[in-house]
Amino acid sequence: MKWVMAMLAMLMSGNAVAEAEPARQLFEGRCAICHQLPEPDMLNARQWRMVMITMQKRMQQSNMPALTDDEFQFVLDYLVKNVH
């Protein structure tokens, strides 16, 4: 019986919600420093990419480390997936 539970836990930890968690934390941690946290559904995918590129510049101008390429992609994917 124990192994069934372990298998279930493994399956559940691999689902999309668990994967979105670090991206959400990154978004909430990094995108609410200079202004309120934006709503993911306020822009479409193309607009988000453009805004994210601008935000990278805003962070650099404020002597803040910009997102790494991976972080940039995580946050962008998160925003685009949450567009309703």
Q: Which of 25, 44, 62, 73 binds ligand HEC (CB under 6 A)?
A: 62
**Which phi-psi region, left, alpha or beta, contains residue 67 (left: φ > 0; alpha: ψ -120 to 50)?**
beta
Q: Which of 59, 80, 82, 83 binds ligand HEC (CB under 6 A)?
A: 59
Q: Which of 2, 4, 35, 46 binds ligand HEC (CB under 6 A)?
A: 35
Nearer Cβ to ligand HEC, position 62 or 73? 62
Using CB under 6 A as the binding rule, whether residue 31 contacts ligand HEC is answered as yes
Long-range contacts of 68-72 (CB under 8 A, 24+ apart): 71/26, 71/30
| Ranges of H-type helices in the chain | 2-13, 16-30, 45-61, 69-81
Which region, judged by CB under 6 A, interacts with ligand HEC, from 7-15, 17-25, 54-62?
A: 54-62
The residue ranges that bind ligand HEC (CB under 6 A) are 30-31, 33-35, 38, 51-52, 54-55, 58-59, 62, 64, 75
